[in-house]
Amino acid sequence: MTLNTLLLEPIVALVAGILILIQPRLLNVVVAIYLIIVGVVGLAHHFPY
């Protein structure tokens, strides 16, 4: 099973939201990780495997 971008981004956003609800102090870390993941996934489309 492969995860494509359309499935990966909502899952990452859901996990990030749950982590922020559980421990609000993680907000900066969770947002930074989310932005890095979205950026890497977005750039992955421009490079062949």
The pTM score is 0.59
pLDDT of residue 36: 86
Q: How buried is 41 (Cβ within 10 angstroms: 0-12 exposed, 13-18 middle, 19+ buried)?
A: middle
For residue 13, the model assigns a pLDDT of: 80
Residue-level pLDDT at 17: 82
Domain boundaries, the chain: 5-44
pLDDT, tens digit, for every residue of 1-49?
Answer: 565 666 777 887 888 888 888 888 888 888 888 888 888 877 877 777 6
Give residues with Cβ within 8 angstroms of 27, minimum separation 6.
Answer: 20
